[in-house]
Chains A and B, each alone.
Chain A
């Protein structure tokens, strides 16, 4: 038997494994939110989108037998929710935070409603890439089972960075988010750019949902999300609206989920509620330390949180 006692080595291994397993949803929602916020709108409703994505992916994977079709369905479901958010949140006098909360309720309602028949059955899961096949330790082997979705997310982060920096479209989105007036003077349709950004961001969040239900934890239940969608907004601030830093922030949050259980498994078993809340406490502390009233945050889109201009 190679199930030797890992002991304290299990803690770093657990955290690494937890990071590889659990970061993908954070990564996709934060990249999605980043894209949305760069255009000057906030989408707090990604929690609903994430749930809808998780449900659609699981349902389609189960019904068709193809998990990749499930991922596609999750993206489409995200696009649909993005369309609703993009239309309603851009109406004059309508606050995007409020629409986001309404979308959380609506989205989770639809996902739970349609998802009822899929709680019981098991759907085919996404294949994994086994980078740990060399190891004789099953723990290491299992830790290095990496989801292709996670790799996709890692690839999207620098791509999005490059997209914002070096492409015309990226520039347009940034212009719309930073100074809508200038963008308007350039003859850009602010409405359309934002609508598309919100939809693309929701598409990514939907894929993040697919990662929840088709990779890890790999199941559909109504409690599948532990607030990853809601945290997207905090992650993006944490990451200073920078896609590469979204990647780091997601890794941090994914790993943090594993800290509590990993510590308990070696006998540190007090204060687990506070350990479980550690990512939130940490985020708040970092925000307090790095924000300053003297200067605006680097990277913050100038029009973020400002009401939409009347379009008609």
Chain B
């Protein structure tokens, strides 16, 4: 019940905030683009205006919300003003949003948070506004090819999926795991493979059943997929879709375990939630904000153009372990986490075969997370039931 009360409170606070904002809007009629998030107490008078653009609603309990939480975290930093726009399509609409943020809101830093914004949209606008800095979530920046006011960042969240796989490998009794995936693209395949490798590192008999829904967000199909996995004897489900809410709830209804993605979804499945692979954008965005406030820029290379990392650089984290996780599973997971944090071991260390029997990574070969081959992954590891081609 406390949950509900908290909700009422925050709702009321939001309303009050809205009223305050509009009152301010009257005072500055015409010129007023005052956001509730604005916090103009920075040392240098003018706050730094940072624009965030999301592809979905920013309260989707998933991908966009994870970024929006990061934006909310830096909005609290003195000297930073955040403007946000949600539900912006990957068409020239996003170009116009960026221009509008720059021209009308005075944004000098923009975070377009969807992968598909980069080429051609971010690139086009970045050329037009060489003084504005663009930080794109996707890790696509190439030195010498792309404008030097563009930066790119992305996290190796598959490290968290690897740990989640270890927990799942311990929890499963049927030795069948399920992975509800949107599309067979490298990022998704890498999560599936890391999850499976993690599970098989503690329980080599485990198989992962993968089903592609074909869409980033289609709750009915996701629920149907979870159900058909449960019918096939799968007893731990995880996913890579935009809003995993329905999958967690369906798994809980079917009485099987689940492992979250994007954000902490423990409250949706109090009995079956094992752990989850979460983004930690607050830490990354805070880091960027501090660099920007210290007058560092992409253009003079004092901010690196490419920022990538996993658990150790706080790009991602794990949800707290659920009640069903055994002490043994926790110990194994924590040990693996320590090894990943100290960068001692790589997840992709040979010999690794794909599920058609072909050797993808040779014995003795070790692929660090930065390896370009991993970014182009188009195979599923041995132990996965599923096929990459559409």
CB of A1 to closest CB in B, whole Å: 6
B201-216: CB near A (< 8 Å → 1, else 0) gives 0000000010111100
B contact residues vs A (CB 8 Å cutoff) = 3-4, 7, 11, 57, 59-61, 173-174, 209, 211-214, 217-225, 227-233, 235, 243, 245-246, 249-250, 253-255, 267-268, 385-387, 389-390
Is B267 touching A122 in the complex (CB atoms < 8 A)? yes
Q: How far is the CA of A222 from the CA of B243 in the complex (A)?
A: 10
Is B227 touching A218 in the complex (CB atoms < 8 A)? no
Chain A residues, CB < 8 A from B227: 14, 17-18, 21, 142, 261
CB of A3 to closest CB in B, whole Å: 4
Name 15 interchain pairs, CB-CB below 8 A, sorted by A.
Answer: A1-B173, A3-B173, A3-B174, A6-B232, A10-B228, A122-B267, A216-B223, A217-B223, A219-B219, A223-B218, A226-B219, A258-B224, A265-B209, A266-B232, A269-B387
Q: How far is the CA of A266 from the CA of B211 in the complex (A)?
A: 10
Chain B residues, CB < 8 A from A18: 224, 227-228
| 3 pairs of A and B residues whose beta carbons are closest in the complex | A217-B223, A139-B231, A261-B225
Given known A-B contacts A121-B4, A221-B245, A273-B214, A258 and B228 have beta carbons under 8 A apart: yes
- Scan residues 260-291 of chain A and give those whose CB is less than 8 A from a CB of chain B: 260-262, 264-267, 269-273, 276
Given known A-B contacts A3-B233, A6-B231, A223-B243, A272 and B386 have beta carbons under 8 A apart: no
Is B246 touching A221 in the complex (CB atoms < 8 A)? yes
Which of A111-119, A147-155, A171-179 makes up part of the contact surface?
A111-119
Q: How far is the CA of A148 from the CA of B61 in the complex (A)?
A: 29
Is B212 touching A269 in the complex (CB atoms < 8 A)? yes
Q: How far is the CA of A10 from the CA of B250 in the complex (A)?
A: 18
From B61, B233, B390, A221 is in contact (CB under 8 Å) with B61
Is B214 touching A276 in the complex (CB atoms < 8 A)? yes
Q: How far is the CA of A218 from the CA of B245 in the complex (A)?
A: 10
Is B249 touching A265 in the complex (CB atoms < 8 A)? no
B387: nearest chain-A partner, CB-CB: A269
Is A13 in the interface zone, CB < 8 Å from B?
yes
A: number of interface residues (CB 8 Å): 50
From A10, A142, A218, B249 is in contact (CB under 8 Å) with A218
Is A222 touching B60 in the complex (CB atoms < 8 A)? yes
Chain A residues, CB < 8 A from B11: 117
Q: How far is the CA of A117 from the CA of B18 in the complex (A)?
A: 15
A15: nearest chain-B partner, CB-CB: B228
Given known A-B contacts A4-B233, A119-B60, A217-B250, A272 and B267 have beta carbons under 8 A apart: no
A contact residues vs B (CB 8 Å cutoff) = 1, 3-7, 10, 13-14, 17-18, 21-22, 62, 112, 116-117, 119-122, 138-139, 142-143, 212, 216-219, 221-224, 226, 257-258, 260-262, 264-267, 269-273, 276
Is A273 touching B173 in the complex (CB atoms < 8 A)? no
Given known A-B contacts A270-B387, A272-B390, A119 and B224 have beta carbons under 8 A apart: no
CB of B235 to closest CB in A, whole Å: 7
Q: How far is the CA of A147 from the CA of B60 in the complex (A)?
A: 26
Is A5 touching B213 in the complex (CB atoms < 8 A)? no
From A138, A264, A271, B211 is in contact (CB under 8 Å) with A264
Chain A residues, CB < 8 A from B61: 119-120, 221
CB of B360 to closest CB in A, whole Å: 19
CB of A141 to closest CB in B, whole Å: 10
Chain B residues, CB < 8 A from A22: 220, 224
Chain B residues, CB < 8 A from A212: 220
Q: How far is the CA of A222 from the CA of B217 in the complex (A)?
A: 9
Q: How far is the CA of A227 from the CA of B332 in the complex (A)?
A: 45
Is B231 touching A17 in the complex (CB atoms < 8 A)? yes
Q: How far is the CA of A21 from the CA of B227 in the complex (A)?
A: 10
Chain A residues, CB < 8 A from B4: 62, 121
Q: How far is the CA of A194 from the CA of B127 in the complex (A)?
A: 57
B173: nearest chain-A partner, CB-CB: A1
Q: Which of A10, A13, A219, A262 has the most CB of B within 10 A?
A: A219
Q: How far is the CA of A17 from the CA of B235 in the complex (A)?
A: 18
Given known A-B contacts A119-B60, A217-B223, A265-B211, A14 and B390 have beta carbons under 8 A apart: no
Chain A residues, CB < 8 A from B60: 119, 221-222
From A62, A119, A264, B59 is in contact (CB under 8 Å) with A119
Is B390 touching A271 in the complex (CB atoms < 8 A)? yes
Chain A residues, CB < 8 A from B224: 14, 18, 21-22, 257-258, 260-261
Having A121-B3, A142-B231, A271-B390, one finds 5 other A-B pairs with CB under 8 Å, namely A6-B232, A14-B224, A21-B227, A112-B57, A270-B389
CB of A187 to closest CB in B, whole Å: 46
Chain A residues, CB < 8 A from B217: 221, 223
CB of A11 to closest CB in B, whole Å: 9
Given known A-B contacts A121-B3, A223-B217, A262-B228, A267 and B385 have beta carbons under 8 A apart: yes
Is A5 touching B232 in the complex (CB atoms < 8 A)? yes
A276: nearest chain-B partner, CB-CB: B214
Q: How far is the CA of A138 from the CA of B231 in the complex (A)?
A: 8
Q: How far is the CA of A273 from the CA of B214 in the complex (A)?
A: 7
Is A226 touching B174 in the complex (CB atoms < 8 A)? no
